[in-house]
Amino acid sequence: MTMEHIIRAIAGTFILLSLGLGYLMSPYWFLFTGFVGLNLLQSAFTGWCPMETFLGKLGVVRVNH
């Protein structure tokens, strides 16, 4: 695992842990936080980030794969 993958895994874990607080605030915030957390966790283990791919196709970010 690279350092980038480790950071994504840690960030995804913290975001998923914040779901409890997000649920108390708003169901929409809960769903958004859950989506971001799961995206970070899966990208840490698979090396593929759907949003990074989408933004790369739009020319917003450069994807180095």
Give me the residue label for tokens 């769903």: 31
Q: Within a domain: residue 64?
A: no
Q: Is residue 10 part of a domain?
A: yes
Domain that holds residue 39: 3-58
Residue 63 domain-assigned?
Answer: no
pTM of the model: 0.52
Are the C-beta atoms of 42 and 31 separated by less than 8 Å?
no
Give 1-60 pLDDT, tens digit per residue: 688 888 888 887 787 777 777 777 777 877 777 777 777 778 778 877 777 777 788 888
pLDDT score, position 15: 77
Tell me, yes or no, whether 52 lies in a domain: yes
**Which pLDDT value is given to residue 7?**
80
Of the candidates 55, 43, 36, the one whose C-alpha atom is nearest the C-alpha of residue 8 is 43
- Give the total number of structural domains in the chain: 1
31 falls within a domain: yes
